[in-house]
Amino acid sequence: MKKIIIFTAILAACLLPLWAQQTQKLPAKWEELTGPDFIRAIEQSQGVCLLPFGIIEKHGPHLPLGTDLINVRYATEQAAQQEYAIIFPPYYFGQIAEAKQQPGTLSYSMKIQLDLLQETTDEMARNGCKKIVIVNGHGGNESLLPYFAQSQLQIPHDYVVYVYWWHPDYPGRPAEHSKVDMHAGESETAHTMISRPDLVHQDRAAQESGADQARLHLPEGVYTGIWWYARFSNHYAGDGSAATEELGQADMKAWANGIAAVLRAVKADQTAPALQREYYEQAQHPLDTQQ
């Protein structure tokens, strides 16, 4: 009997590290995973990875330059706690040509933006991310990211790119107090009060004007790149002093819930990968496509 107890104790001691490794909660952040844990993370996430996409730009006189990046990563981290996915390291190489005149802005050429994003998603896929969800945290990327996703049809890829842009229009959202709330205003300030309250200087929010300067008058439907500078040359659109933690908590929870719902849908999606493979095949033989 004594020998059996000793053997059982030895066996338990040998198996405990393995059991602990299997049950240990994996980090969601790519950069925090070990090599062996990364393999487990890909399996656990079903090959679904998040690419939170921010920017480095001025956010009025009261918010950090990395506001978009900080907030979108916070939301994805909260989402990954609900529905596990691997989160790519901080990525801020997007479109911000309209703010080059402001201190601290990092504005990359369009070629670099597209080439770097393509190589990034290619590398993610090479490491097992076969479904990549780009979560946009910056308004200036609203045209760039759909274009990038569309451009994936040019050359066959063994992965699918999804783009998600959350809009705060959910039921029961706390009322806003600002007429203009586009950039560094009430909403973004409220969000940052939750993600990084130590970086919010709400007492400075009134030091510059976030009002619409309305300096450009063109017919409806006409677009020109200088439109943002014509309206908000301070790179501030709204009133950050009106922000509340109540709004921030509600929005960030809704944003995280939205991302988690997208993750569940993407994991279940078998249609987009199949249609993409079908498309690539037919694109090689357009004269054989049934008319």
Query: Which residue from 248, 86, 258 is spatially nearest to 170, judged by alpha carbons?
Result: 258
Statement: residue 208 has pLDDT above 50: yes
pLDDT tens string 37-52: 999 999 999 999 999 9
Residues ≥6 apart with Cβ < 8 Å to 169: none
Residues 260-277 have pLDDT tens digits of 999 999 999 999 999 999
119-154 pLDDT per residue, tens: 999 999 999 999 999 999 999 999 999 999 999 999
Report whether 93 contacts 111 (CB < 8 A): no
Q: pTM for the full model?
A: 0.91
The residue extents of the domains of the chain are 26-270
Q: CA 196, CA 249: separation in Å to the nearest integer?
A: 12
Instruction: Kindly report the average pLDDT of the chain as a whole number.
Output: 93
pLDDT value of position 24: 73
Listed in sequence order, the residues at least 6 apart from 173 whose beta carbon sits closer than 8 Å to its beta carbon are 247, 250, 251, 254
Distance CA 28, CA 48 (A): 11
- CATH 3.30.70.100 corresponds to the domain 26-270: no
The per-residue pLDDT for 10 is 52
pLDDT tens-digit readout, 6-38: 544 454 454 444 444 445 799 999 999 999 999
Residues 6+ apart with CB under 8 A from 182: 139, 232, 237, 238
Does the pLDDT of residue 87 top 60, yes or no? Answer: yes
Question: Is it the case that residue 246 has pLDDT exceeding 80?
Answer: yes
Closest CA to 168 of 160, 158, 178: 178
Across residues 92-114, what is the average pLDDT? 98
Contacts of residue 2, defined as CB under 8 A and 6 or more positions apart, other chains included, come to none
Higher pLDDT, 6 or 208: 208
